[in-house]
Structure formats: structure tokens, C-alpha cells
Chain A
Amino acid sequence: MTDFVAPDVDWAALSPVVIVLIAAVLGVLVEAFVPVRARRTVQLSLALAALFGAIIAVAALWSGVEDTGGTVVLGGSLLVDGPTLVLQGTIALLALLALLIIADRTETGEDAFAPNAAAVPGSEYEELARRKGVRQTEVYPLVLFATGGMLIFPATGDLLTLFVALEVLSLPLYLLTGMARRRRLLSQEASMKYFLLGAFSSALLLFGIALVYGYSGSLRYSEIAEATQVPGGLDSLLLVGSVLILSGLLFKVGAVPFHTWTPDVYQGAPTPITGFMAACTKAAAFGALLRIVYTMLPGLAWDLGVVLWTVAILTMVVGTVAALVQTDMKRVLGYSSIAHAGFILTGIIALNQAGITAVLFYLLVYGAATIGAFGIVWLVRERSGEGPGAVLGEATHLSQWAGLGRTHPLLALTFALFLLSFAGIPLTAGFAGKFSVFSAAVEGGAWPLALIGVLASAAAVFFYVRIIVLMFFTEPAGTDEEATGTAVAAPSGDGFAAIGDTAVVVEARSTVTTTVVGTEGFAVVAIAVCAILTVVLGVFPSPVLELIDGVAAFLP
């Protein structure tokens, strides 16, 4: 009989996670006890304070980790080391920016969320809620719960905690996906799809955990890593198990062939949530993947290399090629996020110190540009007729963006900046990120991957640039029929010859014009911060790179 010994918990090391999760629980209580009038103010202040607090907590822990290399918490279930802190800081910062966009309301007082998400789309009940001007504030605690899960995810030191963190971050996201104010059916379909596929991938992950446990007799990464060093007869158990675990994580990052949910979910989810999901989930999931590949499975580098190489190549190629033919802005960004997942994977495959730094840096710069880009997508609306009440949902069809550079030069310029960063043009943060992952990959001997990566980047430039062409070089839709033609012209045969030559008129849109909606201003602040980050990290990436590089070592 062994007595149960309560583990000695180092609460300080857990403070970023604890702050966010406590705030999330408080948020639920706020829903119950604070009157409707004050609810949004309280929720928003609470959430912002929590995320700020998490960032400050990360900063407070930084120097300690820099000196000691990190702490093992909860008996090894959580590892607070350099990469953990970098990722927690990144996630908290990105979540903060995303939250500003989530919280923002248009000049007519609309946010991005359904007045009553539980109502059947198109029902009278829903209409009633809409007429009454009901506003939901549950999104705040949901976002905080998801963020809490994301903060735990990259810090996990054993497989069971990994699974728990995965569920904590995923479940609120499934819900949030289904809460779009407009295009309710699309949103609910996306939510359903995300949930079903997510549950499926969780099952894969869980099965993989079971198999690996069967092989090694442990759930701890470090002990599994030790077990893989010992030659044994159950290699197939280990291999199948680790491939399943990787599959579960690759699903979350949206890597091919586990990517099919990405475009649909990105399109269907409320746009601010899409930005949050694209940036933060990716950071968390890649953090976990990075830790598992680097600390749990290095012994299998040789065997799993083939799998990861194949996935990385497929992801880059499929993401890029599929994005070329999209006509919906959110789907373009969705496929581009798949391609970016491929680029980040090349940094993971590098399996060296430079790879860790590169991936962590890439997640930050990609996240900043993504949140900013989706923030702008949220602001660009359809308008039928005049007056503020005539503003409808987001104008996501590419053709609707024609001429935006002439009507709203600053907004279009900012969006172009994010696109150039995605494309990896030098002097933007995206270039610094791409350069760091590709150079890590070449250093790690994976130069064919880097080559495919740059070729995919070159192809990807086409669809980013196509959007810039639309915004700046084309007349607004309605005045110039070519505009629509440019947008829907698929790069058939002679790729770019299609630009400006084909005139396909989408007649149904003739009465709807495109406008940029005025808001309370939160979103504009967030977008501005993202833009500044994109420029500064592009021109002077050194301080941040050095900061990351100084702590980029995993605890075993």
C-alpha cells in the first residue's frame, strides 16, 4: 500500500495558465450574476485583464527560466521551459489582439455573433432575438477557456495532459465556430464538421496514446524517449502509436491530409473567431508538436522522417495549389494557412536548435499577420442602399474587393502589407519567418523541403498578388466589369493571361456595393498593432529572435 502523496505544485510557474482559467470561470459567473447592461463591459475588462496578466506572468517567469532552463511542475505533467514561455507569451498576445476584434461592434452596435446561437436558423425565435437586440457575451469566457487550453497545450509533459489540454482548447472553439451572426447555416455546418472531424482526430490521438503506453509503459515524454532507445520487439506498436499521435496533432494544425476541415471552418466561423483560431490554435498545436517531435520521438527521427516529409510536402503543395482557385477571401486565407502549416513543418523537420527558434518565431509573425488580415476581412462589408442600417455581412467574394485601394487606401495598404508578409516578401515579418524555417531546414539537411517551400512560396505569390491587383489596379465592381472577371478568373492554361481578359459578370451582386464599416475602434487598434508588428519584425527581427534563441531549449 503506498500512500497518496499530493504533488508539490509550483503555482508561480503555472501563473499564466491559472490566471486565464480563473478569469474564464469568473466569466461564467458574470454571465449568471451581473445585469445585462454591465455584462459586456465587465466581461471585456475581465478578459483583457486576464490576458494582460498572462503576458505579465510570462515576463515575470522569463528570467528565472533563462537562468535555470525551466521547471518541472505537477510531477512532470507540465514543463515550464523556454519554448513554453515563448509560446504562452505568443498565444496570450495574439489572443489579446484577437479579443479586441472579437469584442468590437459596428456603428450599429452589431458584433460578429448570433443574438441567440441556440435558435434554429431562420426561425421566428431567432428573428425575435434579433429584433429585441439581444447580445450574447458568452464568447468571452469561451475564448478564455480556449486560450487556457492553448496555454497548457505546448507545456504538457505527458500524453494524458496533452489530451486534456487538446479538449479544453477544442470544445469552446467548436461552439464559437457555430455562432456567426450572418450565414447561420454555413456557420452551423462548419461547427458540426469541425466537431465531428475533431472528435475523430481526438480518438486517433487517444488510440495512439494507448499504443505508445503499451509499448513504453509510461505517458511521460521523457520516459517514452528513453524506452525508444532500448531495442525491443514491439516496434510496430510504437510506430503505429506515434503516427496516430502525430495525426491527431497534424489535424489541429491543418496539415494535409488532415486539412479538409480548414477552409470550411475558416469560412463558416465568425471572422474574428477565424482569426483567433488560425493564429492561436496553430501556435498551440505546433508548440505541442514541436515538443513531441523533439523530446519524445527523437529516437524515431529516422522512421517518422518519411511521414513528416510527405506531410510537409503535401501540405505546402496542396495548400498553395488549392488557394490558387478560390474565390472567397476567407477560403483563400484558409488555404494559405494550410500552406503556412507546411512551411512551419519544414522547420520542425529540421530537428535542430535553429529549428526550434525558427518555428517559434514563425508562429508569432504568422499569427500577427493572420489576426490583422481577418480583422480587415471583418470590416469589409456588403451594403445595399444607403444608411448605416443597410450594412450587411462581410463581403468575402474576391470580386467585391475590387477597387478597395481607391476608396479606402489605408485599409487596403494594410491588407496588402499582411498579404506581402504571407507571401514572404523581404522587409516584412513573413520573410524573416520563412527565412528562419528554411535556413533551419537546410541546416538540418532537409534542403529539398526548403526548395519545395520556396517554389510553393513563389506560386503562392500569385494569389496574394491577385488580391493586391484587385484592390489597387481594378475599378470597383459595378463600374468596371473586368473587375469581376479578374476575381473569378481561374489560372487556367496560361495562368496570368486570365487577368483582365475574361469578363465574367456576377449579376446578382450588382445592387450590393462594398463598404468598410465603422466600429467602436477596438478592431482598428488590433489591426494597427498587427501591422506594426509585421513591419518591425520584418525590418528588425533581431531583438525578438535573440530573445527566443536565448531560451529555446526543451527540458528533457
Chain B
Amino acid sequence: MSSSFPWLTALIVVPLLGAVALWVLPAGRTRAVALGVALLELLLGVAALTAFDVADAGAVQLTEVHGWIPAFGVSYAVGVDGVGLILVLMSVLIVPLVVLAAWREQGALTVATDQLRRYLALVLLLEAFIVAVFAARDVFFFYVLFEAMLIPVYFMIGLFGGAQRRYAAVKFLLYSLTGGLIMLVAVIALYLQGPGGPQGFLTENLTGLTLDPTAEKLMFSAFFLAFAIKAPMFPVHTWLPDAAENAPAGTSTLLVGVLDKVGTFGMLTLCLPLFPNASRWAAPVVIVLAVISILYGALLAIGQKDLMRLIAYTSVSHFGFIVLGIFAFTSTSVAGSSFYMVNHGLSTAALFLIAGFLVARRGSQQIADFGGLQKVVPVIAGTFLVAGLSALSLPGLSTFVSEFLVLVGTFARHPAAAIVASLGVVLAAVYVLWTYQRMFTGPVRPELATMPDAVTREKWVVAPLLALMVVFGFVPGPALDLVRPPASVTLEQVGVQDVPAAAATEGSDQ
């Protein structure tokens, strides 16, 4: 295994070719080809992990740089540090599950349809963009992917979604594009502050610049707005519930579980290193917004009648935790946030996919249309409960580790914020357990009595997610090894003194 093998490029190209193949091949082969490509991608991801030097996870590795548009200073530059790699791995893990889950979702359980073919082609296309965006080491390249990946999602919602799909797709696109375009101005402005030249957009060439304070604040705000919309944070989160409600479950999984991580990933790897002074300047406001997101998202989740909207609002709450950890500027909280991104991906994917199983069986997303299912579909009920418990960060599940790290790390610097944010944990218990109670306990409704339980295929969809959450819940060490060093590097770049949260950190490693 030579170190010069372009792992990341391979990870980008394989799903792209898969998408083309699906487009060209007849519908009959769709399921095998799509699943094969997604699994190959997963293998490639694992292989890339073995090529990655974990001991040096704070450094950007597996790098490739080629000129792309020298006239603009743009390069095709990819490379990952520990955080980027773990997010890539999470993405390539979730995609095969989404592919498997899509068979029933797109009404192609027995025979592959043309609809499934087009849907899975878009999924693979999106996967290529996602891997590339997590690996991009060129600000312009990142921006291009950040915008371009909206298009497959737009079609995934608009072509395959529910009743209000047109509205949801357009709202999603307009929100994201507006944020992105404002970011574009800042991208250009940043380039002009940098060294310029044919590699002027490389992230490392733009890090550590001496910027005019006002310009830096403006550019930070533009970047942050784009990422906050993407993440999504209060008050620019309103597109997410609509999108999640109307998109097919698999699309929501990719959108919320994976794609939205680009927002927080961008804050972590672009906002902080590129604009350290402005980041420190904005941190108090961001922290307040993050705390509002946590509580507001949780409260709204409690009030939802639609299952998919509920999951979307829980994510608003969880993204609040991630942002809080990033802007608390302690190595514990930043590492916790990085790890939280992965765990939230696993947890949300599980919730959305299982909810998708239920919705496909029942034909309704209203929580009130379910009831007493625990006796009818025990496997689905059990897995939903575990996924739900991961959303409320039950100890023993991986989300607990990350949420704890975030809160402890934040407490060291902003005790008040950490205390208020921890109320979100209580609210999480309400929305998860109450939902479970309404859907799975109580008397069995006659019309639901014949609902089939999860089939083998569906068990395979959920099992890896739950297994990983439990494994990371008890042995978070390997994952934390990947995210800790980048956190220290980030703090150095921001230029703040780390506040140790020593005692607490020891405890969380168990």
C-alpha cells in the first residue's frame, strides 16, 4: 500500500462513476450496482484509514494538489486531518445503509424501478460531493462543492418527496444558495488579502494572514452565515423541518445526518483558522445563539405532530451543542464537538431510517397515526428506542461521550452557558420518551395489528449504526485519538489558551 496512492481522489471518483453507471445501465441491475459501489466506497474509506497516520492526526494527510483554474488561483487540493477523515468515514458508512433502505422507500422492494435508479444515481452523486467537501483543502474548491451539492439534494427532495416537496425543495435551495453566495463575496475578498498567485486559494496559504480587523469581521460573518444556515442554527433553521418533512427518509438521513455537518465542519476548519480574531470577537454571540438553538429546537421538537419534523428539530438542538463546543474554545469542547458530529450522524441516521421504515408501512408521518406498535413490531420498536436514547445521550451510547465532553469543556470557560445548555438534555428526554410512548406503547390499534416487522435487509440497515454507537459509547478512545490533535491545532490557530477540564475529561474516557 504505497502512501502515494490518491485515496481521497479514489473516494471521490468511485461514487461518481457509480452514478454514471446507474444512469447508463438498465434499471434491472440498479440495486446490485448501487450497493456494490457504496460498499466498495466503504472499503476504500477503511483502506484510507489504514494509510492515515493516526499518531499525527492533527496534520493534514493524504494530500493531493493539482492546479485546476490557475487563472483564478484555484487548485484541486484534497487532504484530511483526523476530523475530516472521521467525517468521510461516517459518510461512506451511512450511504450503503441509505441505499439499502431506499428499496422499500422508493417502492422498489421486489423489482428495481426506473425511479429507484434515478434516485440512487443522485445518492451516489451526492456522496462524491460530500467526500470531496470534507476533504477540500482549497477554499474555492470547498465553495464550489458547497454549492454544487445542493443540486442533487434539490432533485432528491423535489422529485421523490412528499406532498409539499416543491415548496420544500425550493425553500431549501434558496436558503442555502443565499448563504453560499454571501460567502462567495467573502471568499473573493479573502483571496485578495492572501498571497494570490495560481495557488492563492489553498487553505494553508490563507491561514494566518494579517487581516484588517473590520474586513476580518465582515468576512467571518459571511462565512458564518453560510455555515449557520447549513448547520442549521437558530434563527436560520426554518428550512430544515420543511425539507425533512417532505424528503424521503433516506434523503433526510443524508441531508441532516451528513450534509449539514458541512456547516459545523466549515465553522471548525474554515471560520476558526482563517479568521481567528473575528472568531474570538464573535464567540459570545455565537454561544448565545447556540444555547438558544439547543433549547428552542428541543422545545419545538416536543410540540411536533409529524415524526420527521420532530427528528429535524432534535437536530437543530444537537447542532446547537456542536456549535457551542466549537466556539467554547477549549480542547475538550472542540474535540467533543468533532466527535459529536460523527455521533449525531449515526444517531440521526438511525432515527430517520427507522422512522422511514415505519412511514413506508403506515403511509403516514403523523405520530398520532401510530400506537401500541411495541407488540406488533418489537424489532423496530427496540431499535427506535435505542436510537432515541442515543439522541438523549444515554450513558453507554457514544452520543453521551461527546455531549459530555462538550458540556464539560464549555463549563471550563462559560459555566453559565454550559448550565443552561444542559437543560437541553432534560428536554431531550421528554421528546424522545414521549414520542416512544405515543407510538409504541398503549393498546394496539386494529389497523396496525398486521404491520410486518423489520426484514433482514432492514435489520442490516440499522445494526451497523447501533453497533457503532454502543462500541463508541464504551470505547471512544480510537475515535477521540482522531479528533483530539486537530482540536489542539485549531486552538493554536485561534490563539486562545486552552482551559483544561482535566478531572472531567478523565472521567469521560471510562
What residues make up the interface of A, taking CB atoms closer than 8 Å to B?
Answer: 357, 420, 424-427, 431-432, 435-436, 438-439, 442-443, 447, 450-451, 454-455, 457-458, 461-462, 465-466, 469, 472-474, 486, 496-497, 499-501, 540-542, 545-546, 549
**Could you tell me if A469 and B71 are in contact, using CB atoms closer than 8 angstroms?**
no
Cβ–Cβ contact B170 & A469, under 8 A? yes
- CB closest residue in chain A, given B143: A426
Nearest-Cβ distance from residue A468 to partner chain B, whole angstroms: 8
Task: State in angstroms the CA–CA spacing of A280 and B181 once bound together.
Answer: 28
User: Do residues A447 and B68 form an inter-chain contact, with CB atoms below 8 A?
Assistant: no
**B188, A435: Cβ atoms closer than 8 Å:** yes
* B182 close to A455 (CB less than 8 A): yes
Question: Any chain A CB within 8 A of the CB of B420?
Answer: no
* Residues of chain A within 8 A of B69, CB atoms compared: 432, 540-542, 545
Least CB distance from A463 to B in Å reads: 11
CB-CB under 8 A for A472 and B159, given A426-B148, A458-B178: yes
Near A by CB (< 8 A), chain B positions 137-185 give 143-145, 147-148, 150-151, 154-155, 158-159, 164-167, 169-171, 173-174, 177-178, 181-182, 184-185
Q: Which residue of B lies closest to A470 (CB)?
A: B166
A425 B174 Cβ-Cβ under 8 A: no
B197 at the interface (CB under 8 A from A): no
Chain B residues within 8 Å of A454, by CB: 181-182, 184-185
Measured in the bound complex, the distance between the Cα atoms of B167 and A457 in whole Å is 20
With a cutoff of 8 Å between Cβ atoms, the chain B residues found around residue A425 in the complex are 147-148, 150-151, 177
How long is the Cα–Cα vector from A455 to B222 in the complex, in angstroms?
12
Contact of B71 among A431, A438, A474, A545 (CB under 8 A): A545
Known contacts: A425-B147, A427-B148, A541-B69. The answer to whether A450 contacts B170 by CB under 8 A is no
- Chain B 261-274, CB-CB to A under 8 Å as 1, else 0, gives 00000000000000
A125 to B389, CA, bound (A): 82
Complex CA distance for A458 and B179, rounded to whole angstroms: 9
| Chief secondary structure at chain A's binding surface | helix
- Known contacts A461-B174, A542-B67; 9 additional CB pairs below 8 A are A426-B145, A427-B148, A435-B184, A439-B188, A439-B192, A461-B173, A496-B167, A499-B166, A545-B72
When distances are taken between beta carbons in the complex, the residues of chain B under 8 Å from A455 are 178, 181-182
With an 8 A cutoff between CB atoms, is B189 at the interface? yes
Q: For A500, give the chain B residue with the smallest CB separation.
A: B166
Q: Is B452 an interface residue (CB 8 A)?
A: no
Q: Find chain A residues with CB under 8 A from B71 CB.
A: 357, 541-542, 545-546, 549
Across the two chains, which residue of chain A brings its CB closest to B218? A447
Interface residues on B, range: 35 or more
Q: Does B213 contact A (CB under 8 A)?
A: no
B191 within 8 A of A: yes
Given A473-B169, A497-B167: A451 in contact with B147 (beta carbons within 8 A): no
Name the residue of chain B whose CB is nearest to the CB of A435. B72
Report yes or no: B185 in contact with A438, Cβ–Cβ below 8 A. yes
Are B158 and A472 in contact (CB-based, < 8 A)?
yes
- Among B72, B169, B178, B184, contact of A436 (Cβ-Cβ < 8 Å): B72
- B170 with A466: CB separation less than 8 A: yes
Chain A residues, Cβ within 8 Å of B171: 496
Q: Which residues of A contact B495 (CB under 8 A)?
A: none
Residues of A within 8 A of B173 (CB): 461, 465
What's the Cα separation between A424 and B150 when bound, in Å? 13
- Asked if A474 and B178 sit within 8 Å, CB to CB, the answer is no
> How far is it, in angstroms, between the C-alpha of A500 and the C-alpha of B184 when the chains are bound?
31
> Which residues from B are CB-within-8-Å of A541?
69, 71-72
Q: Chain A residues with Cβ under 8 A from B235's Cβ?
A: none
> How far, in angstroms, from A462 to B188 measured CA to CA in the complex?
24
Closest 8 CB pairs of A and B: A454-B181, A426-B144, A545-B71, A458-B178, A439-B188, A426-B147, A473-B158, A426-B148
The answer to the question of B415 belonging to the interface, with a C-beta cut-off of 8 Å to chain A, is no
B70: interface (CB < 8 Å): yes
Partner of B191, one of A420, A439, A469, A500: A439
Q: Tell me the minimal C-beta distance from B71 to chain A in angstroms.
A: 4
Q: Hey, which chain B residues are within 8 Å of A462, CB to CB?
A: 170, 174
Contact in complex: B167, A500 (CB < 8 Å): yes
Question: Quick one: which of B147, B184, B192 contacts A443, CB cutoff 8 A?
Answer: B192
Residues in A whose Cβ lies below 8 Å from that of B67: 542
With a cutoff of 8 Å between Cβ atoms, the chain B residues found around residue A469 in the complex are 158, 166, 169-170
Residues of A within 8 Å of B158, CB to CB, are 469, 472-473
26 A–B contacts, CB within 8 A, in A order = A420-B151, A425-B148, A425-B177, A426-B143, A426-B148, A427-B148, A432-B72, A435-B72, A435-B188, A439-B72, A442-B185, A442-B189, A454-B184, A458-B178, A462-B170, A462-B174, A465-B154, A465-B174, A472-B155, A473-B158, A486-B166, A500-B166, A501-B167, A542-B67, A545-B69, A549-B71
